[in-house]
Homo-oligomer: A and B are copies of this chain.
Amino acid sequence: MSNHVYKKLELTGTSAASIEDAVNSALARAAKTVRDLRWFEVEEIRGDIEDGKVGHWQVSLKVGFKLDE
């Protein structure tokens, strides 16, 4: 039986709403072109500031998916 191999992409999702929404926005975009997404790892949480409040959450994450054999 062959061993599985996975690839990790690094994406930055953004959202005005929340950290969770920024992650899901990155995953939704990845799912358009990549099959078999499996897991993610949050690497960095930052954002821009508008009028003394968070403007957009900018969450960088690694996204792992299974490569075809």
Please report A residues at the B interface, Cβ cutoff 8 Å. 2-16, 18-31, 37-42, 44-49, 51-54, 56-57, 60, 62-64, 67, 69
Roughly how many angstroms separate A56 CA and B22 CA in the complex, as a whole number?
15
- Known contacts A19-B19, A20-B18, A25-B3, A10 near B49 by CB under 8 Å: no
So how many copies of this chain end up in the complex? 12
- Known contacts A29-B5, A41-B46, A24 near B63 by CB under 8 Å: no
| Least Cβ–Cβ distance between A33 and chain B, in angstroms | 9
Give the dominant DSSP class at A's interface.
Answer: strand
Q: What are 29 A-B contacts defined by CB distance under 8 Å? A: A2-B25, A3-B13, A3-B15, A3-B16, A3-B21, A3-B56, A4-B14, A5-B29, A5-B30, A6-B11, A6-B12, A6-B14, A7-B9, A8-B11, A10-B10, A10-B62, A12-B64, A19-B20, A20-B57, A27-B53, A27-B54, A28-B52, A39-B46, A39-B47, A39-B48, A40-B46, A40-B47, A42-B45, A49-B63
